[in-house]
Amino acid sequence: MAPGNKQHKLKYHLEKALIEGVRYIATFGGPYSNHIDAFVKRTVELGLQPIVVVRGEVQPSLTDTLRTAVCNGAILYPCSRQDYKRGLDSDVKRQVDSDFNTIYWIPEGGSGPLGVKGCQDWAEGILNNNGSGGEPWDMVCLASGTGTTAAGFLSSSNVSQLAVFSALKGTKNLELDIRSQALVDTSGKHLLTFDECYHGGFGKFSPELFAFLCDVYSLNPTLKLDPVYTGKMLYQVQQLITDGRWPYRRTLFIHTGGLQGWRGVAKHHWPFDSIDY
């Protein structure tokens, strides 16, 4: 089973692929992508053939993420960064289409309305089982990449206050991007966006972040955080609290998974000995 938010983003895409009766299913992702890891696992479980367009050259020595994908039966296609940005309009997509019969394509990260709908369902499930003792949450917090999960949560009837923390550097239109992906009118909902929690850039880390994650794990040994999304989000909220800039008493943090992201980090930096992903 795909971990965290990935199973929800993939849910309706995979249902549609099965209804269409396709044999091949394809998507895009980077060499350390959580999406690729989850996508390959789920497609293989369903008896489909996964095809992955990988950003950048596929090196002879594959990353752990790509090696696992290949071992699970995925077919890899390397793609230049320039062509990769074109997504479903890319030359490599046309090449894959010519090499195989009918293919169902999932956008990078499981985005699109079907991905948003899956995350809307997830939000409904979480907030319908409210663990706050009946009191409404003052704020719901999410880390963000493509904004699909955030758009799904903002589309939920149970979410009126949402804070989104981008893992990407220089995201200036994050609020507009999220609202534009939502499935309902969100103009009456309070959406806060933060794009300063990148620690040098997407997939990059700082000594301060590693120290924070080690402290969190030492105090909460059953809680494992990833270093790319949720870990950075919690670090930034902690900084906001320290600075007196977080006025929300009851905050719900959504852990979106992504523990396999530690595979791109030297093990001596890991706060724990092993990871289940």
Q: How far apart are CA 21 and CA 243, in angstroms?
A: 54
Closest CA to 225 of 241, 244, 238: 238
**Residues shown for the chain:** 277
Domain spans, the chain: 6-110, 114-269
CA angle (135, 136, 138) in 5-degree steps: 120
SS3 of residue 267 by DSSP: helix
254 close to 126: Cβ distance less than 8 angstroms: yes
114-269: CATH number? 3.40.50.1100
pLDDT for residue 1: 54
How would you write the pLDDT of the chain (277 residues) with one tens digit per residue? 566 799 999 999 999 999 999 999 999 999 999 999 999 999 999 999 999 999 987 777 899 999 999 999 999 999 999 999 999 999 999 999 999 989 999 999 999 999 999 999 999 999 886 655 567 899 999 999 889 999 999 999 999 999 999 988 766 789 999 999 999 999 999 999 997 666 766 767 888 999 999 999 999 999 999 998 999 999 999 999 999 999 999 999 999 998 988 988 888 889 998 887 6
Q: How far apart are CA 188 and CA 186, in angstroms?
A: 5
pLDDT for residue 235: 93
pLDDT for residue 273: 87
6-110: CATH number? 3.40.50.1100
